[in-house]
């Protein structure tokens, strides 16, 4: 495929939300209709999550009392770092139990939003806005590309083992950075590697959304994409903060 052959038809994507465009070759008409309904549900939940994150993170950034509380209680920041990991276990186990799944999803989103707010409060507002804009551009571009590629029969399931191994390495490197800081250059490299990793995860998980998630996994699908996008944002924010410093 040459560079001139690449073209993303945004009209096709828009029509797809009207259930008229086949998501990938060979999909049956009824399956295609159900899959588009599932995708709309996931993106609807994801939109609510990001609205909630914006509100909660904004309150953390703008509220002096909240900032003072976290500065006076550094242990609470550590608790917030691990709380989402704890909540993910029951969220995965009860993802199909309504309304418990929505309650757990709300708690999970708020707990992460508080950590995002703390990270944003450490950066100048202009840097935060730039990180938001860059994240939005990357997410929209990668999402559109994945739908374009899926429609033409491309598959990204092979990325699963590669990304998981890379994630383990990045997490281990993050722990080393936390306890034995290696300097601003290594932090910038870490941010760049993390941004690349979660950019690839957006493609991989969007491809799963199109082809592999079952129709009752809409909660978990939204959680996975939510984490991909937030981690990408935090990685870009870290890179910009180091560049600014």
Q: Read off the pTM.
A: 0.87
Determine the straight-line distance between the first and last CA of the chain, rounded to whole angstroms.
42
Name the residue ranges covered by the structural domains of the chain: 27-244
- Alpha-carbon distance 150 to 145, whole Å? 9
Q: Which of 126, 243, 155 is nearest to 195 (CA)?
A: 243
pLDDT by residue, tens only, the chain of 245 residues: 444 444 545 444 444 444 558 898 888 888 999 999 999 999 999 999 999 999 999 988 888 787 777 777 777 777 888 888 899 999 999 988 889 999 999 999 999 999 899 888 888 889 999 999 999 999 999 999 999 999 999 999 999 999 999 999 888 888 777 777 777 778 888 889 999 999 999 999 999 999 999 999 999 999 999 999 999 999 999 999 887 76
Name 99's Cβ contacts closer than 8 Å, sequence gap at least 6.
none
């Amino acid at each position: 495929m040459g560079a001139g052959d690449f073209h993303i038809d945004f009209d096709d994507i828009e029509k797809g939300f009207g259930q008229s465009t086949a998501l990938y070759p060979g999909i049956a008409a009824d399956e295609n209709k159900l899959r588009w309904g599932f995708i709309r549900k996931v993106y609807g939940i994801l939109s609510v999550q990001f609205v909630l994150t914006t509100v909660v993170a904004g309150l953390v950034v703008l509220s002096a009392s909240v900032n003072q509380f976290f500065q006076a209680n550094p242990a609470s920041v550590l608790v917030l770092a691990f709380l989402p990991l704890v909540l993910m276990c029951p969220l995965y186990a009860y993802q199909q139990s309504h309304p418990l799944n929505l309650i757990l999803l709300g708690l999970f989103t708020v707990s992460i939003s508080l950590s995002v707010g703390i990270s944003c409060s450490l950066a100048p507002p202009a840097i935060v806005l730039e990180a938001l804009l860059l994240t939005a551009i990357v997410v929209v571009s990668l999402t559109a590309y994945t739908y374009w590629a899926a429609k033409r029969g491309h598959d990204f399931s092979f990325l699963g083992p590669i990304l998981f191994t890379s994630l383990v390495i990045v997490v281990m490197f993050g722990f080393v950075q936390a306890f034995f800081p290696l300097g601003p250059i290594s932090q910038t490299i870490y941010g760049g590697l993390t941004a690349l990793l979660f950019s690839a995860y957006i493609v991989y998980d969007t491809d799963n959304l199109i082809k592999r998630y079952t129709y009752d996994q809409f909660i978990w699908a939204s959680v996975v994409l939510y984490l991909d996008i937030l981690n990408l944002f935090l990685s870009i924010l870290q890179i910009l903060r180091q560049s600014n410093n």
